[in-house]
Amino acid sequence: MTTSFVPLVLLGGLTAAGVYLLLERTLTRMLLGLLLIGNAINLLILVVGGPSGNPPIRGRTSDGYTNTADPLAQGMILTAIVITMGIAAFVLAMAYRTYRLNTEEEVADDPEDAKVSEFAARDIAAVEEDRPQAVPSRDTDAPDELDALPGHEGSA
Strand partners, 68: 54
Q: Where are the domains of the chain?
A: 5-56+70-112
Q: What is the pLDDT of residues 45-103, one digit of tens each?
A: 988 887 778 877 777 777 777 777 788 888 999 999 999 999 999 999 988 888 888 87
Give the type of residue at 80: A
State how far the Cα of 74 lies from the Cα of 112, in Å rounded to an integer. Answer: 45
Beta bridge partner(s), residue 106 = 26
- The domain 5-56+70-112: what is its CATH number? 1.10.287.3510
Give the angle subtended at the CA of 42 by the CAs of 40 and 48, to the nearest 5°: 100
pTM of the model: 0.62
The DSSP string of 114-148 is HHHHHHHHHHHHHHHHHSPPPPPP---SS--TTSS
The answer, yes or no, to whether residue 153 has pLDDT greater than 60, is no
